[in-house]
Structure 1
């Protein structure tokens, strides 16, 4: 497997923050909010996290794979394409749309 980029499979992400906490360079940032689920009759209400934002700063990333290894839901996976170089640092900050497995690289 080529370790060129990291893809986010958004529907698997539970916003647990493990990837951001375990990253040695703190290149991952995410925000979320809690929503209450409608319980089945007789059950108590439950809350779950909903992902609002997710980004990776490729100017900081070491491509070590710690975030991928630590993700309990396999929401982060190695992507095949390398992250293209950029003339500006701000262009190396990719959000969740750019981290989708089917997003164009470059």
Structure 2
């Protein structure tokens, strides 16, 4: 069995918490291999290398990348999300664009 292909790019997920939806952009190494739950597995490049679950919001990676390119033009900054022992932690960084 071959190793899953890695993609280094910017991707996003939507986190729902207390009735609000948060758009979280990840600069991550994203594998094309899906988990049993149907989610992609992503490894965050910075600020840690902890594993996070990435929910695919498009049928194809090319469509997802196009959506991200359009979205980042409007957002202007990225949030890196990584797991602590029990919760998500957030840090803001300047846009990579």
TM-score range, shorter chain: under 0.3
Larger Cα-atom Rg: 1
Q: TM-score, normalised by structure 1?
A: 0.23
Structure with greater contact order relative to length (CA < 8 Å, sep ≥ 6): 1
